[in-house]
Structure 1
Amino acid sequence: MTKAELVDNMAQDAGITKVQAAAALKSFTDNVIETLKKKEGKVTLVGFGTFSKTRRKARKGRNPQTGDPIKIKACNVVKFRPGKHLRDAV
């Protein structure tokens, strides 16, 4: 499903215009991003799942083309853990 298809479905399900649905989706994604930027950022949607931020340590990797070892810097990554309702539905 693409963003445009999601906006269409949201508009139809909620009985609102596509512009309003697009604004609601943008607000949701912006708020999730802003929350995850915080030090202990975590977004929990009961039944759907939890978005959380974790720190990945620096590690050694390998260039797949040349086989040379490379250093991979530490970084933050976003993880999603599905909730019970989503797990049961899939």
Structure 2
Amino acid sequence: MSQKPMTKTQLVAAIAEGMGSDKKSADAFLGTLTSIITNEVAAGGAVTLPGLGKFACRARPERMVRNPATGEQFQKPADRVAKVTIAKALKDVINA
């Protein structure tokens, strides 16, 4: 599996072809979708894209971590991370 990931330009072209519209409209759609998901997840919410997955924000507690280069342990403060849960439909397509 050394296939290169799809670039934004390729994704916009595929969306335009699938929608039967021009690349400018597809790029605007992708930009709007990205903005909506980013704003919702940053606010602590979640967005579910049926057949694809769920984007959510998860809080991580304060914890002890270790620097692998030096072996030094230190306290890492609590933070928030984005989490993506893949939909069952996508898993089934991948494993088919």
> What one-letter code is carried by the residue in structure 2 that aligns with 1:8?
A
Are residue 25 (structure 1) and residue 30 (structure 2) matched? yes
> What one-letter code is carried by the residue in structure 1 that aligns with 2:21?
I
In structure 1, stretches of 5+ residues that fail to align are: none
1:14-70 CA distances to partner (integer Å, 9 max, x unpaired)?
11111111110000000001111223x010122221111110111111111111112
Distance in structure 2 (CA, Å) of the matches to 1:84 and 1:47 = 7
- Which residue matches 1:74? 78
Q: Point out 4+ residue stretches in structure 1 off by more than 3 angstroms.
A: none
Partner of 2:55, secondary structure, is strand
* Correspondence 1:31-70 to 2 at 5 A: 31-39=36-44, 41-70=45-74
> What one-letter code is carried by the residue in structure 2 that aligns with 1:81?
T
Q: TM-score, normalised by structure 1?
A: 0.90
Are residue 13 (structure 1) and residue 12 (structure 2) matched? no
How many residue pairs get aligned? The number is 89
How many percent identity over aligned positions?
36
Distance in structure 2 (CA, Å) of the matches to 1:89 and 1:27 = 27
Partner of 1:81, secondary structure, is strand
In structure 2, stretches of 5+ residues that fail to align are: 1-5
